[in-house]
């Protein structure tokens, strides 16, 4: 679709007024397998530094099913579970034409440019209460 409309993302300049450069590194990593769980574990570390967070991630439907079977059998007791249907995460979703490895590296590179790392440092943290309502 973008090719048909001659849209070249390299030539599009960001508008600072749109606030699209305010995300955190952990938040931008959501699209990669394990990214959501990593952000949650990192936020918990800020909120409760002495709490240990065990994480188990399913990457692709086969791995998700295996993880859920293990959880049901009690072998992942106390784990934060993350399941990504697409192998590699959303970066490898339907219609993706870029290899998963390249997409993952692009997300990691983009994350390094974020103004802050932790989700708890987001300029929108004070808005969470209204979102929860």
Give me the residues paired with residue 83 across strands: 58
Backbone conformation region of residue 24, classed left if phi is above 0, alpha if psi is from -120 to 50, else beta:
beta
- In degrees rounded to 5, what are phi and psi of residue 46? -75, -40
The pLDDT score that the predictor gives to residue 117 is 85
Question: Mind listing the pLDDT tens digit of every residue in the chain (133 residues)?
Answer: 888 888 887 787 767 676 666 778 888 888 999 999 999 999 898 889 999 999 999 989 999 999 999 999 999 999 999 999 998 999 988 888 889 899 999 989 988 888 888 877 777 777 767 766 6
Domains of the chain in start order, with CATH, are 24-96 (3.40.950.10)
């Amino acid at each position: 679709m973008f090719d048909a409309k001659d849209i070249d993302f390299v030539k599009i300049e960001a508008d600072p007024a749109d606030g699209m450069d305010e995300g955190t590194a952990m938040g931008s990593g959501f699209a990669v397998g394990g990214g959501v769980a990593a952000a949650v574990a990192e936020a918990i570390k800020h909120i409760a530094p002495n709490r240990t967070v065990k994480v188990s991630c399913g990457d692709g439907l086969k791995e998700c099913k295996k993880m859920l079977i293990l959880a049901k059998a009690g072998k992942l007791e106390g784990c934060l579970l993350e399941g990504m249907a697409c192998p590699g995460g959303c970066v490898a979703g339907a219609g993706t034409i870029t290899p998963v490895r390249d997409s993952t590296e692009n997300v990691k590179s983009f994350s390094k440019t974020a103004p802050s790392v932790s989700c708890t440092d987001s300029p929108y943290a004070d808005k969470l209460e209204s979102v929860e309502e």
